[in-house]
């Protein structure tokens, strides 16, 4: 079967179409025929070599962690052939561990997980993949086309669940929400927020005309240009925010978020920056945390429950929004286009098989 | 009646014994005869003028926010004469507002509360005070002697409730807890933590011999000397912490806490530092937040429910610990000694009347 993998020789990484044997499901595993696999910022970091690891002893890593597929061989599991499924990303490294046993692989610390397509395990960008049935989440057939968006939405479901948990000891009544970052994760999160909060904002550093700004405004949200309004000045320029969702990986944003929050507000951090030292007014930020009961919470990955919540959220999103968000779905012959990273590309996927054809 | 108040003339603050008329309870208020009132760091900040405000139009502020008293005149409220009560601290500034209506004055932002003895309202360091009955929490008679410790313990109850809330979206199993600060709030918190967590630590900057280090070790906890082990190096020197409780007001601790936390850990911030700019490795801290699902939560003040929880906690503390913690209880004639701030003073209170005498 065909797969898309990254290889590294010297300092050079190449993304290639490769031939691999079709995998055989072990006991408890199903064989899945891949339909579509999304591309995101993490894939680009994996390709650049700044994030993730190849599987032990391998000279390549099959890419892809945002997949949707159809069960080809249920192999005696509770699944049925023909069912649509979305795979979760983390797998136990050696046998299992407590985090996986209790269904919370997203809370496992480093060394206690692999991530398919990212950390030490091949991804889903292949014509077929196998997976233990417990890591395959059923998807309604009408969502087949958009199923590769379940994994990124699940990241948001977890981050928001954890952010809301921080505010669960009192009667929190959030009205305003700000998304930092107008990449594909930021935009799909904004679309979900638009349904939950009275007033939403999305921050980016692009100038008009720009397709992401068009989407932000089409959603009914307010675009905040970070080159004109730094995060710390958003309360003065717009309003203080009850919820801030950081999806930029730009470290100063994590700390400016404290100032941009309204009293009793919470910031969810999702970016993964490299080391970067800079000055902050730590006394002021510490005081702000305390006197206004603010919280910051980091969030990574997601568990099967978040995938299920993401499927519900996806079903409620406007198809017109999804059409604008997904700027391209490319067959194997044009897979390179799916990895383009320019200002007209928002969200792309590689299509291995069409849902209609199966 | 007599009271203890701070006056300020020019830049000089004096703490004085003053004569004031005994207050008359309004409808819905009870008259309380004061037994003991504790002294803490906030009182010293109020005296220095770095925190709080005098009541509008007044040239003095009666001090004290950690009180225990006995109902002298129930005045038609649900209380009974002779009952022991501990007053909460916040009061609505003009009529009421949503935060007070729903019993969460601790979540009110600046401008929507007064604080007795701190912000714009006289405190409890007087022979009598009045209070709406809803702000008086009943105390069992056997705790009369230690009732002035309920307010500081309620601060910890709230902070821990909010910290635990941040971890409520998953199966959190904390084992290690670190208190930053060996002042009276740090030590009473440590005593409460000693009952909840397998391993506890308390950080200070004192050298032996020192009475707070003696208490820490007597509790079965480990003393961490911050002049030898910076907070960020605690995981290497001891272990990474599931819960960190910051009660130093030293701003770098707020940020070093992120590094000292174990994966999935939470830091509760309680200090109120002034402005102070310094450099941090913001990229590393941001990444730590995200990849290890960490949280920081600020916490200020407490509501009646936290006072009730604090009474339960207080009832479970060893009297031998409380005897060591409270280094002096002083009558009105020696009130100045209660405001001493040296290395042999841990916790003090002013006694206005003895519980036995009433």
Mean pLDDT of A52-64: 95
Residue A72 parent element (H or E): strand A66-73
User: Which of B162, B278, B280 is the closest to A169 by Cβ?
Assistant: B162
Of B322, B334, B333, B329, the residue nearest B351 (C-alpha): B329
Q: Does A289 contact B273 at a Cβ distance shorter than 8 Å? A: no
CA distances (Å), A350 to each of A70, A270, A354, B16, in order? Answer: 15, 25, 11, 78
Q: Does A283 contact B275 at a Cβ distance shorter than 8 Å? A: yes
Residues A190 and A254 in one domain: yes
Structure tokens at B73: 């005149």
Average pLDDT over chain B, rounded to whole?
A: 97
Positive or negative, the CA dihedral B8, B12, B17, B19 is negative
The alpha-carbon gap from A253 to the nearest alpha carbon of chain B, in Å, equals 9
CB neighbours of residue A32 within 10 Å:
29
Say what the pLDDT of residue A357 is.
56
Q: Quick check: A183 pLDDT over 50?
A: yes
Biggest CA pair distance of chain B: 61
Q: Does A255 contact B287 at a Cβ distance shorter than 8 Å? A: no
Residue A92 CA, chain-centre distance (Å), reads 20
CATH number assigned to the domain comprising residue B204: 3.40.50.720
Which alpha helices (H) appear in chain B, and where do they start and end?
A: 41-48, 98-101, 150-166, 184-194, 211-218, 234-237, 251-260, 282-291, 304-316, 319-325, 335-338
Residue B170 and residue B146 in contact, taking contact as beta carbons nearer than 8 Å: no
Say what the pLDDT of residue A273 is.
95
Residues B88 and B210 in one domain: no
Say what the pLDDT of residue A329 is.
98
Residues A26 and A66 in one domain: yes
At residue A89 the predicted structure's pLDDT band, cuts being 50, 70 and 90, is very high
A260 touches chain B (CB under 8 A): no
CA angle A26, A29, A34 (to 5 degrees): 115
Q: Quick check: B52 pLDDT over 70?
A: yes
A294 touches chain B (CB under 8 A): yes
Give the Cα separation of B295 and A319 in Å (integer). Answer: 35
Residues B122 and B256 in one domain: no
Task: Strand B2-9: give its sheet, edge to edge.
Answer: B12-19, B2-9, B60-62
CATH number assigned to the domain comprising residue B324: 3.90.180.10
Q: Tell me if B283 is assigned to a ligand binding site.
A: no
CA distances (Å), B34 to each of A129, A151, A251, B67, in order? Answer: 74, 60, 51, 7
Q: Tell me if A272 is assigned to a ligand binding site.
A: yes
Residues B12 and B129 in one domain: yes
Instruction: Spell out where chain B has E strands.
Output: 2-9, 12-19, 29-39, 60-62, 66-73, 84-87, 90-91, 114-116, 120-121, 128-132, 136-139, 176-180, 199-204, 222-225, 241-246, 261-269, 277-281, 295-298, 326-331, 347-351
Say what the pLDDT of residue B357 is.
56
CB neighbours of residue A105 within 10 Å:
25
Mean pLDDT of A24-45: 97
Residue A126 and residue A350 in contact, taking contact as beta carbons nearer than 8 Å: no
Asked which of A325-334, B9-18, B145-154, B343-352 is least confident by mean pLDDT, the reply is B9-18
Q: Does A290 contact B276 at a Cβ distance shorter than 8 Å? A: no
| Portion of chain A with pLDDT greater than 90, in percent | 95
Contacts of B271 in chain A (CB under 8 A): 286, 290
Q: Does B251 contact A161 at a Cβ distance shorter than 8 Å? A: no
At residue B344 the predicted structure's pLDDT band, cuts being 50, 70 and 90, is very high
Q: Quick check: B343 pLDDT over 90?
A: no
A316 touches chain B (CB under 8 A): no
At residue B12 the predicted structure's pLDDT band, cuts being 50, 70 and 90, is confident
B103 touches chain A (CB under 8 A): no
Say what the pLDDT of residue A358 is.
47
Bond preceding residue B243 cis, omega within 30 of 0: no
Q: Does A283 contact B292 at a Cβ distance shorter than 8 Å? A: no
A270 touches chain B (CB under 8 A): yes
Average pLDDT over chain A, rounded to whole?
A: 97
Residue B309 domain-assigned?
Answer: no
Q: Considering only residues B143 and B355, tell me which one the structure prediction assigns the higher pLDDT.
A: B143
Q: Quick check: B358 pLDDT over 50?
A: no
Residues B9 and B127 in one domain: yes
Q: Quick check: A301 pLDDT over 80?
A: yes
Give the Cα separation of A304 and A284 in Å (integer). Answer: 39
Residue A21 domain-assigned?
Answer: yes
Mean pLDDT of B172-194: 98
Q: Quick check: A63 pLDDT over 80?
A: yes
Range of the domain at B71: 2-139+318-351
- Show which of residues 142-171 on chain B sit within 8 Å of chain A, judged by CB atoms: 161-162, 164-171
Say what the pLDDT of residue A356 is.
73
Q: Tell me the CA end-to-end span of chain A in Å, nearest whole number.
A: 17
Give the Cα separation of B5 and B125 in Å (integer). Answer: 8
Residues B184 and B275 in one domain: yes
Contacts of B279 in chain A (CB under 8 A): 277-280
Residues A328 and A294 in one domain: no
CA angle A274, A277, A279 (to 5 degrees): 140
Residue A148 domain-assigned?
Answer: no
Give the Cα separation of B154 and B308 in Å (integer). Answer: 8
B111 touches chain A (CB under 8 A): no
Asked which of A340-344, B42-46, B262-266 is least confident by mean pLDDT, the reply is A340-344
For chain B, what's the residue count? 358
Residue B303 domain-assigned?
Answer: no
For chain A, what's the residue count? 358
The alpha-carbon gap from B259 to the nearest alpha carbon of chain A, in Å, equals 13
Residue A301 and residue A106 in contact, taking contact as beta carbons nearer than 8 Å: yes
A204-246: pLDDT as tens digits: 999 999 999 999 999 999 999 999 999 999 999 999 999 999 9
Residues A10 and A87 in one domain: yes
The alpha-carbon gap from B263 to the nearest alpha carbon of chain A, in Å, equals 6
User: Which of A269, A275, A299 is the closest to B284 by Cβ?
Assistant: A275
Q: Quick check: A152 pLDDT over 50?
A: yes
Say what the pLDDT of residue A248 is.
96
Contacts of B166 in chain A (CB under 8 A): 162, 165-166, 295, 297
Residue A304 domain-assigned?
Answer: no
Q: Tell me if A12 is assigned to a ligand binding site.
A: no
Residues A179 and A287 in one domain: yes
B20 touches chain A (CB under 8 A): no
Mean pLDDT of B163-177: 98
Contacts of B169 in chain A (CB under 8 A): 161-162, 164-165
Residues A294 and A347 in one domain: no
Mean pLDDT of A38-49: 94
Mean pLDDT of A66-70: 98
Residues A270 and A201 in one domain: yes
At residue A343 the predicted structure's pLDDT band, cuts being 50, 70 and 90, is confident
Residue B288 domain-assigned?
Answer: yes
B239 touches chain A (CB under 8 A): no
Residue A74 domain-assigned?
Answer: yes
Q: Quick check: A105 pLDDT over 90?
A: yes
Q: Tell me if B178 is assigned to a ligand binding site.
A: no
Residue A44 domain-assigned?
Answer: yes
Structure tokens at B75: 């005045």
Phi–psi pair at B201, nearest 5 degrees: -140, 150
User: Domains in chain B: how many in total?
Assistant: 2
């Amino acid at each position: 079967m065909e797969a898309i993998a990254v290889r590294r020789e010297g300092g050079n990484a190449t993304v290639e179409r490769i031939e691999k044997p079709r995998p055989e499901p072990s006991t408890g595993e199903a064989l899945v025929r891949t339909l579509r696999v999304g591309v995101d910022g993490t894939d680009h970091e994996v390709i650049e070599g700044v994030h993730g690891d190849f599987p032990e002893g391998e000279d390549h890593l099959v890419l892809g962690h945002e997949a949707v597929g159809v069960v080809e061989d249920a192999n005696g599991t509770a699944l049925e052939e023909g069912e649509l499924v979305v795979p979760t990303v983390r797998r136990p490294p050696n046998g299992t561990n407590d985090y996986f046993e209790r269904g919370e692989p997203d809370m496992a610390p480093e060394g206690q997980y692999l991530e398919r397509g990212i950390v030490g395990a091949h991804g889903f960008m292949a014509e077929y993949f196998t997976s233990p049935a417990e890591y395959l989440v059923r998807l309604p057939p009408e969502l087949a086309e958009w199923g590769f968006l379940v994994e990124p939405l699940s990241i948001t479901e977890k981050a928001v669940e954890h952010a809301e948990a921080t505010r669960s000891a009192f009667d929190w009544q959030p009205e305003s929400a700000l998304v930092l970052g107008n990449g594909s994760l930021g935009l799909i999160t904004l679309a979900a927020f638009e349904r939950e909060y009275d007033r939403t904002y999305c921050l980016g550093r692009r100038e008009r005309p720009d397709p992401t700004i068009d989407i932000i405004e089409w959603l009914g949200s307010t675009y905040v240009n970070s080159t004109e309004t730094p995060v710390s000045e958003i309360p003065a320029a717009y309003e203080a925010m009850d919820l801030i969702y950081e999806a930029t990986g730009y470290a100063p944003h994590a700390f400016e978020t404290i100032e941009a929050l309204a009293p009793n507000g919470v910031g969810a951090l999702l970016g993964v920056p490299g080391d970067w030292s800079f000055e902050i007014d730590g006394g002021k930020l510490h005081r702000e945390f305390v006197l206004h009961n603010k919280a910051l919470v980091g969030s990574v990955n997601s568990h099967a429950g978040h995938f299920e919540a993401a499927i519900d959220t996806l079903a409620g999103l406007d198809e017109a929004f999804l059409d604008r968000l997904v700027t391209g779905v490319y067959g194997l012959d044009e897979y390179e286009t799916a990895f383009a990273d320019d200002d007209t590309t928002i969200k792309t996927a590689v299509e291995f098989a069409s849902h209609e054809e199966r």
